[in-house]
Chain A
């Protein structure tokens, strides 16, 4: 069975490593990008689109909201599940991200368990993967 793929998009290498560790534990194959532009460039070269993207908001070159908007405008990428993972925790920002097309929103700091629960709610990992 081909493993699912997750794109981890964050300008912090430390945060990418944390997220990569979590999704790898869940049997995803992880691809990293340092900002939205790098992620779009990687996606343009991929024949198979990742099932999941974990996206920071504040990044140079192209921020997370711009990335979500671009992905949602591209029919080839419409099956991707988009999860914002960010310190932007104001209600207005959450509404903006969801309106732009993000499926879920995780506020930093988050525990590994909380992230796995979110992914389980999205049907990307089996319920109970956290235990």
Chain B
């Protein structure tokens, strides 16, 4: 059974701010600037699934340039040193960190999957019976980045089937 839980934009924004402060912008000079545009484009994305007391997904999506910049910041490398493996590792860990913190706000009994990374736009992903319930959308160093939360439920399935 999945209970109704709302983790809102403000909760997600706080988690995202902590990620930026810890890894992507420790100097505090390049914050994620909100655009509130949930349709902004992406070229890569990563996700973790949550099951148990609540079911859904947490998705991190960005342009390839933003992913490369994230990997460089995360791994303390120059941009031109970053490999595709570095980008995948970083995207996976970013989804894992945000997903883990979302899970902590859910009723006990939720489990977190290992992260999945796809070097393709978020729009190519399909989350059956799930709908986006909140998200943080912004521009980082001129490139789009978003973190969104999707809720899966039997109610969504019924709605889609109507």
Residues of A within 8 A of B (CB): 11-15, 17-18, 21, 58, 60, 86-90, 92, 108-112
Contact = CB atoms under 8 A, between A and B. Distances in A.
Question: What 8 A-B pairs are tightest by C-beta distance, nearest first?
Answer: A87-B100, A109-B22, A14-B89, A89-B104, A12-B93, A14-B93, A13-B89, A14-B90
B49 to A, nearest CB: 13
A90 B19 CA distance: 18
B5 to A, nearest CB: 14
A17 B71 CA distance: 11
B3 interface: no
A14 B26 contact: no
A12 B22 contact: no
A14 B100 contact: no
B92 interface: yes
Contacts of A90: 103-104, 108
B118 interface: no
A89 B101 contact: yes
A110 B22 contact: yes
Interface of B: 18-19, 21-23, 26, 71, 74-76, 85-86, 89-90, 92-93, 96-97, 99-101, 103-104, 108, 112, 114
B89 A109 contact: no
Q: Which of the listed residues B19, B21, B74 has the most CB atoms from chain A within 10 Å of its own CB?
A: B74
The interface residues of chain A, by DSSP majority, are classed as: loop
Given A13-B89, A89-B101, A109-B18, 5 more contacts: A12-B96, A17-B75, A87-B96, A88-B100, A111-B21
A88 B50 CA distance: 13
Contacts of A15: 93
Given A12-B93, A12-B96, A14-B90, A87 B18 contact: no
B74 A14 contact: yes
A86 B23 contact: no
B104 A60 contact: no
Q: Which of the listed residues A12, A86, A109, A112 has the most CB atoms from chain B within 10 Å of its own CB?
A: A109
Contact of B97 (A13, A92, A109, A112): A109
A14 B89 CA distance: 6
B75 A87 contact: no
Contacts of A110: 22
A21 B89 CA distance: 16
A22 B100 CA distance: 22
B18 A12 contact: no
A101 to B, nearest CB: 22
Given A12-B96, A14-B74, A14-B89, A109 B112 contact: no
Contacts of A58: 96, 100, 112, 114
Contact of A21 (B18, B26, B76, B92): B76
